[in-house]
Amino acid sequence: MLSLLTLSAVFFLFSAFFSSPVHKVTGESSLVAFYNVENLFDTFDDPHTSDNDFLPQSLLQWDQEKFNHKIDRLSEVIGKLDQEGLILLGLAEIENEQVLDRLLKANALSSKEYSYLQQDSQDPRGIDVALLYQKKKFSPLFHKFLRPCFEGECLESRDILAVKGLMKKDTVWVFVNHWPSRRAGQAQSEPKRLLVAKVLKHCVDSILNKSPLSKIIIMGDFNDLPTDPSLKLLTKERKLVNVFNDEGVMKTGSIKYKKDWLQFDQILCSANAIGTQKGHVSYQEKSAAVYNPDFLYYNKDKKNGPYRSYRGQKYYGGYSDHFPVYIKLNY
């Protein structure tokens, strides 16, 4: 049985019927991307979360200068994705609306017409997901933040952001995720990720049972590989396709742990959104990729991992410990 909180969320999610009007094909391709930005905190103490590491007087000495530098770094990356036709960008490890407001005012983004959806969750550290969207190309109709609750068990973790919106008159559902980490060990933490996967699967099944032709895009830092049980749970009935479950992409990896590259950041699509669909937005096959230009590697050396902000207490002043990932849409 789903918890009352999740049932309530599902009720609101599916109260509006799904529609996909036909429109003309323009031949354009546009990006949908996801980026775990590694601890985008402001410098102020939030008494409701454990953000004490990211304060000026903390061991990390997280001050306004470092925050501004981080904003400039991230806006540089997003600005380059924008040049490739960015429509949607899922974000993870966002503290609050204030840091997003500051991000959109950065030089690389200040002239762009982006807006966002974000809400504080019950994550103890206060890091949440958000959806950045190009206002001219995506119009949200409805959104809901789903608590990670299943069969009476709730996690103190990030909510799932579910958004229903119009993209060139096609109705598209977008889910942004940041699943529980492996900090306690893969085996010990796996039940938590399976719980969140069940919540997400229930919502997706509800959409597809009501409207089988619904177009769905799921993105996130899943802290699991495409071949792990939590992700396989989503794709086992073949209603969803994990377009990052590809040997070449998985070999690239979006993060580096010790000597291993891991593809924890992924995007999935509903099966009916795959391939060329004349008159409709669709996934451009074989376009799933990791965005990893040289400048995003530490010392611009591909033998190193991503150029991150911190490793432990050592400040590097980079971008993030994750690379962004993206897909192209026939738009």
What span, in angstroms and rounded, lies between the C-alpha atoms of 3 and 16? 22
Q: Report the Cα 277 to chain-centroid distance in Å.
A: 25
Q: What angle do CA 78, 94, 307 make, to 5 degrees?
A: 55
Q: What is the pLDDT of residues 223-261, one digit of tens each?
A: 999 999 999 999 999 999 999 999 999 999 999 999 999
Would you say residue 17 has pLDDT above 50? no
Q: What is the pLDDT of residues 271-318, one digit of tens each?
A: 989 877 777 899 999 999 999 999 999 999 999 999 999 999 999 999
Query: What's the whole-number mean pLDDT along residues 139-146?
Result: 97
Average pLDDT over residues 127-146: 97
Q: Which domains does the chain have, with CATH numbers?
A: 4-330 (3.60.10.10)
Has residue 16 got a pLDDT over 70? Answer: no
Burial of 192 from C-beta contacts in 10 A (0-12 / 13-18 / 19+): buried
Question: Cα(first)–Cα(last) distance of the chain, in Å?
Answer: 39
State yes or no: pLDDT of 144 exceeds 80.
yes
- Give CB contacts under 8 A, 24+ apart, made by 197-200: 197/230, 197/231, 197/233, 197/234, 198/150, 198/233, 199/2, 199/6, 199/146, 199/147, 199/148, 199/149, 199/150, 199/160, 200/146, 200/160, 200/175, 200/234
What is the model's pLDDT at position 22?
29
Residue 99: how many CB atoms within 10 A of its CB?
A: 21
Which has the minimum average pLDDT: 17-26, 30-39, 68-77? 17-26
pLDDT of residue 225: 97
Angle between helix 4-13 and helix 186-210 axes, rounded to 10 deg: 40
At residue 18, the pLDDT reads: 37
pLDDT at 28: 64
For the cut 70, the answer to whether the pLDDT of residue 25 exceeds it is no
Banded model confidence at residue 106, pLDDT cuts 50, 70, 90: very high
Higher pLDDT, 174 or 23: 174
Flag whether the pTM goes above 0.75.
yes
Q: Is the pLDDT of residue 172 over 50?
A: yes
Strand partners, 35: 91
- What count of other Cβ atoms lies within 10 Å of the Cβ of residue 261? 15
What lies within 8 Å, CB to CB, of 282 at 6+ separation is 215, 273, 274, 275, 276, 329, 330
> Cα 204–209–213 angle (5° rounding)?
85
pLDDT band at 99; cut points 50, 70, 90: very high
SS3 308: coil
CB–CB of 162/10 below 8 Å? no
Contact 51, 62 (CB under 8 A): no
**201 pLDDT exceeds 60?**
yes
